[in-house]
Structure 1
Amino acid sequence: MKIGLYFGTFNPIHIGHLIIANHLAEHSDLDQIWMVVTPHNPLKKKSTLLDDYHRLEMVHLATENYTKIQPSDIEFKLPQPNYTVNTLAHLQEKFPSHEFSLIMGEDNLNSLHKWKNYDVILENHNIIVYPRLHSGEIDAQFVNHPKIQKIDAPIIELSSTFIRESIKNNKNVIPMLPNKVWEYVEHNLFYKK
């Protein structure tokens, strides 16, 4: 089975994440997309994150009607901060018959060379890259790399940071979040201050 791993803090998950995940579920050879909720991205401040289980619950709520998209808490059980190379090794050991590919935005491809053991990741896994408007200059070693596949997906310029700031400033974010996620955020008064 071919699994696409879409990593994120999903703080909160929004319609942009779902549009990309669904596009790959429907228009690629991937059998499933796993939305991997990252407890702590080494490149982000932990203090800005909602509790892991709240973010996982929001991913559950957002994906419950998608048969090919599912939440994953695999990184919750691994040492923190989480390094993708370790998560991939763990998944490959746990699911030896699955083929795992990484899903990332073009902007993340720019910092791939800073990732722990990125060469090992590229040796063993494909990377599927979706377009971003402001991705900057791609490192020469990743241009035309046989393991990196750029896909023609919708360009979504929506960020969780923008949504959190909007909520804090009492702006209406209903169109940006799946309904049940918005209800969960509103009910729990998340991101209000």
Structure 2
Amino acid sequence: MKILKSQFLFALIASLVFVSGCNDDDNEEVSPFVGNYVISNAAVSESFTVITNIGDIPVDVDTDITPAIQNALLGSVTCSSADKSWVELRDGGKLAMSCEGANELDAGTWEEVSDTELKLNMNSAAIPTSPTGYSLSVTNIAAAGSNLSGNTSVPLPKEMVAAMIAPLTLADGNPDIFIVKFSIQFSKQ
């Protein structure tokens, strides 16, 4: 009888350990970066010069380039305004873009490199001017309320820079691609 009670007690303890061990596996942590964001601000963080038909034009630090960055990164989203175009960082690493959640575009993947760095792997559907897509690293991320801000860089073709400076025109001597370093702010929706 004592052996039967001991075996029953052993089986009960073993099943409790097994059940409680299984519960720990179901508590996967969700990244704090998961959510829907709009690009609310972008400003030059390293000055550069554009050579135009009237001479050199310096682009100074803190120059607001929000519309150009919204167009470069969210141009594939059909929406009435850029402040309604969402960058959707989904659980599991899926990256989508949409107009306030409608007309979703599979934009690639994203990964949390660290607590202060994200990598957005945008495919060619998101960046049609690049047949292989583009990988954008955002570093030095800081959270303030519902905003995330950080630093990044993006290659801008000289045609896009020319559109930004119109009615001026680009002169010879400009690079085909401008690497623009800037700060960026995402506002959670």
TM-score for both structures, normalised by structure 1 = 0.21
Greater Rg over alpha carbons, structure: 2
TM-score for both structures, normalised by structure 2 = 0.21
Larger strand fraction of residues: 2
